[in-house]
Amino acid sequence: MESKGVLRYASPNEQRTISREDLGFYHGVNIGAIYEFEGSFNVDSLQSFFAPVQRCIEEHPFLAVVVADRHTDKAFYRHVPVINLEEHITVLEHTPAGDNSQWGSVEDVLRSNLDRPFSHTIPPWRVVVLPLSSPSQQPSSCFIAFSYSHTILDGPSGVAFHRTFLAAVRAAAENPAPSPARATVEVPERSLPPPFDTPERLPISWSFLLGPLIGALIPRFLANLLGLEPEASTVNEGTWTGTPASFDPTTTRTRVALREIDAALVEKALRASRAHGAKLTGTLHVLTARALSRAFADHDKVTNFATQTAIDMRRAAGVAEDEMGEFASGVYFPLPRVGAAAREGPVTDEEWASARACTEAFADSASRLRDQPIGLLRYLPSVRRWMAGKLGQRREGSYEVSNIGVVEDKGEGRHGEAGGARIVHMVFAQPGMVVGCPICINVISTKGGSLLYTLTWASGALGVEGDEGVFIEAICDSLRADFGRF
């Protein structure tokens, strides 16, 4: 059931995500967590999840909206006064315990939700529960995937959901409700936070604007001579970008590979990164460039890679870390193909210099609101036509790294008590990009724990000979081997 009121119109970046999804190019972002529960919490019961999910709806206004006029350039958000939780929560059948079957089952949950469209007659999000323990086992455990549309929320918003959910479970254990929660939730109409990418928040200088404008009209060599970047990205003739952007609704599918890096290896990588003035995201870029360099060792025409990194702008915008919405921008950065001698040994001084440069670029972007690439969207006459027009064009980069970062449990001391709960692992996956980079590397970790990452790609996007899965497996093997070299 929908109200007729307009909460507010979508901003240019929100319109970008809305048009992308309406065209069929991109569906569910998934932020998942493996939970352990002490006491009476029943991971096999749908009703167990009603109260904590209701708390999430109460605290986050975007969970009670739908997107209207999605097919236009004037999409807007509309309040939904009543939510039926049975339409949003699914509890799957129990899967046997054990690490191999556990991660395989989690990967299956991700795969089945990444390309699953949202109806948009109800708020575009769902909670998918995969029980991992038998009914009698203590503590009980399950994987909870919060799958949602990027039209309403960015990546860190998924972490906010899990923080709110976990806090609600713990609060309910301390103060049990006198009666079970109901499936129907009545939601009062609330205003949405203002959009992030407004001219007031993201001012654009003339020099930053003129680069893309002039670059579209004059040859690249002349734009370079004038000091104007013809594109926001850093693609040139030697950059690997996979196949041109394409989409077939009957055959294009997201493929996903889920991998874990042990906590001990992550800690060594963090220490090595700090010693060289870099952060882990910068180091991940270098390791990915090494992996692709190995994969394209016999391809002389591939000389470099154009990387793209999603940047969380909440701190620069003065927004709380758990506020849901769209607060992302991006940074493009070039990395050269690594030579044969260097890619077979430990990370070189030159590569550490690249990791530092990446780190500095990310920090600079996250600290300022002026001249953000996402702000250029407001100068497009039609975001939807611009998005549709990317089909058939060269992709804008080689790979994207989206690192949500380290998730810390701020409610320590509850686990081990009756009714206690904790998050053991977190997982992040987004759909393969139809019109973006051919490979997405989606990273998340828990404090002191292992690092989970997914590689996602749209089928056919890589343009490699043979099975794309074999190519991706080689990338994963390379990343694992390089983590072992620190």
Does residue 315 contact residue 292 with C-beta atoms inside 8 Å? Answer: no
Residues 111-120 have pLDDT tens digits of 999 999 998 8
The rounded distance, in Å, linking the Cα atoms of 319 and 404 is: 16
Domains and CATH numbers, the chain: 6-186 (3.30.559.10), 204-232 (no CATH), 233-415+428-483 (3.30.559.30)
DSSP 215-254: HTTS-HHHHHHTT--SSSS---TTB---SPP---TTT--E
Find where tokens 């927004």 sit: 319
The pTM is what?
Answer: 0.91
Does residue 405 contact residue 361 with C-beta atoms inside 8 Å? Answer: no
Mapped onto helix, strand or coil, the DSSP state of residue 376 is: helix
The rounded distance, in Å, linking the Cα atoms of 178 and 122 is: 29
Tell which residue, 428, 425, 402, has the closest CA to residue 329. Answer: 402
Query: Torsion angle of alpha carbons 456, 274, 359, 450, nearest 10°?
Result: 20
Query: Torsion angle of alpha carbons 201, 207, 211, 213, nearest 10°?
Result: 80
Q: Which residue type does 134 have?
A: S
- Each residue's pLDDT tens digit in the chain (486 positions)? 344 568 999 999 999 999 999 999 999 999 999 999 887 788 888 999 999 999 999 999 999 999 999 999 999 999 999 999 999 999 998 766 555 578 899 999 999 999 999 988 999 999 999 999 877 777 889 999 999 999 999 999 999 999 999 999 998 877 666 666 788 999 998 999 999 999 999 998 887 887 666 555 545 555 555 555 544 557 888 999 999 999 999 999 999 999 999 999 999 999 999 999 999 999 999 999 999 999 998 888 999 999 999 999 999 999 999 999 999 998 988 999 988 766 678 889 999 999 999 999 999 999 999 999 899 899 888 999 999 999 999 998 999 999 998 888 876 544 445 458 899 999 999 999 999 999 999 999 998 889 999 999 999 999 998 899 999 999 999 999 999 999
Maximum C-alpha span of the chain: 73
Residues near 176 by Cβ (< 8 Å), separated by ≥ 6?
none
